[in-house]
Structure 1
Amino acid sequence: MRFKYEQLSSAPLLVNSIYESGSKGNPAADDPLTKLFKVDGYTKSVGNRGGFRKSSKEVNGKPTKQIAYGVIYSTGKIKEWPDTYDKSTGTFIYYGDNREPGNDYLNTKQKGNAWLKEIFEKAYGTYEARKTVPPMFVFETTGNGLNVEFLGVAVPGVKGKTLNQSLELKTFGETGNQFQNYIAHLTMINIEPEGVSRDWLAQLKNINGNPLKHAPKEWINFVQNGPAKIIPLNEKNKKTIDTTPDLILPSEKEYLAKVRTTQGKFRENLLRISPVCKICGMNITELLVASHIKPWKDSDNHERIVSYNGFLLCPSHDAAFDKGYITFNNDGKIILSHLIDNQNKELLNLNEDIKIELHPSQQKYITWHRENVFKHTQ
């Protein structure tokens, strides 16, 4: 998915999505992360400089010293500190911020290493301690201006590793010119197809908020059980080919991001809801089609992935619905186009008595389909 700069203040955080920068020609003003993480009702976002940015919790519109969440921005331009993401295991390696020979590794200007030490110790500590661990949202540059790609939500630690293995303290440099720095091993976790809710960001920003309310299920699993039970982001399950030509610029690194979450996650979510044809009940999952109610080409980025804009249909009923030969009233009662004669109604097993169950949130999409896709009689 791709979000323009003007959409960022309300955009969801979707894995592998592209968030575009502004066009003012001023890097500080055009930075997409600052706008993306400006939460309604709160005064401060994240900074517009640096590879690690923090957002503070607030009380009555004023920032506090408590961290709400962090944003990791990887440029890949610092050869000595090659942040890497192993998508096969969901492990993200992030280097600390001490590079000064003779300096205590915890005494850095931004206190990045001290902060890493604190959150990793909490991650491997108690449930109450993990509740105070701020999530980390990981982005990397696309190579096209200031555009960024969202890689996922990271938690401190790796399943099967101890605290000291997950947060390695290593010595760098030659004798007489050495210094210590952390190599942090984080795990990118699975999140729901709809992405990270902005309501969760609001809870995190509120000093009295509930950090588990609106949180991804896997984040809650981490808080409850620690790194030992983490389920990493599964590359196989999150990717599918997105052939929509207007979403990707071939000149960018985003070309590689043609493999996207959109259709695959959309289908997976519908299968979890009800793995049968909405009309006839056919349940051979390999044959079921994840059908958009409001078509992909006419939907915005949110509508393309939200499960309320779809249901599963067998191939025949999907084709009839997609081409506008059938639609539904808002109460779920089928409407048949007069262009379908009685013989084809029988062959398609369609009749005026069919009624499906619709969620209230699906009604606006059905209304759109009825007004814009359905083949009315001339």
Structure 2
Amino acid sequence: MTADLLVEAIYEGGPNDNASHDPISKLLKCENMGGFRISGSKKTSSYKLCALYTDLINPDWPDMIEKETGKFFYYGDNRKPVKELHETPKGGNRLLRFVFDQLHLGNRKAIPPFFVFTKSGRRRDMIFQGIAVPGHQDVNENDDLVAIWKLKEGRRFQNYKSVFTILDVATISQTWINDLHQGNAFTPNASKEWINWVLEGKYTPLTAERTLEHRTRTEQIPANQLRFAMVEAVTDYFKNHPKGEYAFEECAAKLAQMMDSNIVHTDLTRPWRDGGRDAIGKYRIGLNQNAVYVDFALEAKCKLYSSGSGIKETSRLISRLRYREFGIFITTSYVSQQAYEEIKADGHPVIIVCADDIASILEAHGYRTVANVKNWLQRDFSYA
């Protein structure tokens, strides 16, 4: 396969769903399995290039591309409590340790280019997301590669969480890929953005402003079966709670704080006279010693997936917002298209937290199974 690599292009695999029909190995002349597809010598750390592959849907290891900033969060390959952090068969974590060490030492010439691919959803077809380099201009060296602890099968183990930058490079030529295999990275075929990063440490991230002003119902409901069931467990739990809707309001306030640590205070309003606001709180902007606190109001709706929130519910919150306040609308379901469009079109300062967002918040805090979620609910929002 001699095609150039174009960002967001889909590269088709063969008709069979097996490693021999994987397109990445044919495009880059690298390994054909695993998350790290390395070309070069692992033994001497003489790496020529590396493909990073992810399906973006693993709840235990939530790799993520933040397209608004160009950040790519990628987890290492020690994903079971069997090996030590750096003793993985494919050598992915050793590669991460090496490239981030070189980054921090300023020896960027020793770092190979990384090519990011994601699963398209159809057999072995892959989407090329771009060329990446370790680190990001907004992330310091204490946070760009972190060894985190996990618990699985009753055993603790470590894995890496890394931060990369996807560079603003639209096309990678096969000619340069051939140069890389010959050990010649610095040729006229290399992109200037990659060259500038290597020589000067200048990050030029591929950023994309979100053009979709509102999410559809489908986008607000978890597509993944496990995430769907996790939020459904939340709805079912509060449906029969002795405190009624007021109990979910406590949960919604907690979810808001889990979503953003700058929410430093929430206060539930009295259920019989809340004035259209289920909770109020303060959002911190700036450093602790010189912070500004902005007031917000929160509205919570615990609903089944089949029942969304419309203009009546969202208008209730909007009409109660005071000067310089913003709103947070949290629902275990979705907000109707008309209500969502009205919020965006009129520029109301309201954050919509829908079912899919709740699933993401729970996953980010380690609640990645229905059993985990139920245990959390019973512990923090008991019926007693």
Task: Give TM-score scaled by structure 2 length.
Answer: 0.51
1:230 aligns with 2:203: yes
Q: Which amino acid in structure 1 is aligned with residue 133 of structure 2?
A: V
Q: Flag the 1:174–1:66 CA change in 2: closer, same or farther, 3 A.
A: closer
1:79 aligns with 2:59: yes
Counterpart-to-counterpart distance in 2, 1:152 and 1:202:
17
Conserved in 2, the CA contact under 8 Å of 1:154 and 1:186? yes
Q: Flag the 1:26–1:97 CA change in 2: closer, same or farther, 3 A.
A: closer
Of 25, 34, 56 in structure 1, the residue corresponding to residue 25 of structure 2 is 34
Counterpart-to-counterpart distance in 1, 2:128 and 2:95:
22
**Secondary structure at the counterpart of residue 79 of structure 1:** coil
Where in structure 2 are the equivalents of 1:214-363 lying within 5 Å?
A: 214-226=189-201, 229-236=202-209
Task: Give TM-score scaled by structure 1 length.
Answer: 0.52
Conserved in 2, the CA contact under 8 Å of 1:90 and 1:233? yes
Q: Flag the 1:102–1:16 CA change in 2: closer, same or farther, 3 A.
A: closer
Q: Flag the 1:182–1:69 CA change in 2: closer, same or farther, 3 A.
A: same
1:119-168 CA-to-partner distances (Å, cap 9, x unmatched) read 01212322xx2112111100111101111111011100010322221001
Conserved in 1, the CA contact under 8 Å of 2:17 and 2:124? no
Q: Flag the 1:26–1:179 CA change in 2: closer, same or farther, 3 A.
A: closer
Q: Flag the 1:125–1:30 CA change in 2: closer, same or farther, 3 A.
A: same
1:344 equivalent in structure 2: none
1:199 equivalent in structure 2: 175
1:11 equivalent in structure 2: 3
1:161 aligns with 2:139: yes
Conserved in 2, the CA contact under 8 Å of 1:200 and 1:211? no
Q: Count how many residue pairs are aligned between Structure 1 and Structure 2.
A: 211
2:90 equivalent in structure 1: 110
1:214-251 CA-to-partner distances (Å, cap 9, x unmatched) read 2111111110122xx312102149x99xxxxxxxxxxx
1:98 aligns with 2:98: no
Which moved further from structure 2: 162-171 or 73-82? Answer: 73-82
1:340 equivalent in structure 2: none
**Secondary structure at the counterpart of residue 177 of structure 2:** helix
1:53 equivalent in structure 2: 37
What is the CA-CA distance between 1:89 and the residue it aligns to? 0.6
Counterpart-to-counterpart distance in 1, 2:45 and 2:70:
31
Of 171, 175, 193 in structure 1, the residue corresponding to residue 149 of structure 2 is 171
2:231 equivalent in structure 1: none
Counterpart-to-counterpart distance in 1, 2:187 and 2:105:
17
Identity %: 36
Q: Which amino acid in structure 1 is aligned with residue 172 of structure 2?
A: V
Structure 2: runs of 5 or more not aligned: 213-384
Q: Which amino acid in structure 2 is aligned with residue 225 of structure 1?
A: E
Counterpart-to-counterpart distance in 2, 1:205 and 1:102:
33
Q: Which amino acid in structure 2 is aligned with residue 187 of structure 1?
A: T
Counterpart-to-counterpart distance in 2, 1:236 and 1:164:
28
Counterpart-to-counterpart distance in 1, 2:88 and 2:19:
24
Q: Flag the 1:198–1:79 CA change in 2: closer, same or farther, 3 A.
A: same
1:304-359 CA-to-partner distances (Å, cap 9, x unmatched) read xxxxxxxxxxxxxxxxxxxxxxxxxxxxxxxxxxxxxxxxxxxxxxxxxxxxxxxx
**Secondary structure at the counterpart of residue 131 of structure 1:** helix
2:337 equivalent in structure 1: none
Conserved in 1, the CA contact under 8 Å of 2:81 and 2:152? no
Which moved further from structure 2: 103-112 or 78-87? Answer: 103-112
User: What's the Cα RMSD here?
Assistant: 2.6
What is the CA-CA distance between 1:77 and the residue it aligns to? 4.4
Q: Which amino acid in structure 1 is aligned with residue 59 of structure 2?
A: K
What is the CA-CA distance between 1:110 and the residue it aligns to? 2.0
Conserved in 2, the CA contact under 8 Å of 1:121 and 1:163? no
Q: Flag the 1:219–1:108 CA change in 2: closer, same or farther, 3 A.
A: same
**Secondary structure at the counterpart of residue 218 of structure 1:** helix
Structure 1: runs of 5 or more not aligned: 1-8, 38-44, 58-62, 241-378
Counterpart-to-counterpart distance in 1, 2:146 and 2:45:
26
**Secondary structure at the counterpart of residue 109 of structure 1:** coil
Q: Which amino acid in structure 2 is aligned with residue 198 of structure 1?
A: Q
Counterpart-to-counterpart distance in 2, 1:114 and 1:164:
18
Conserved in 2, the CA contact under 8 Å of 1:212 and 1:220? no
Q: Which amino acid in structure 2 is aligned with residue 219 of structure 1?
A: W
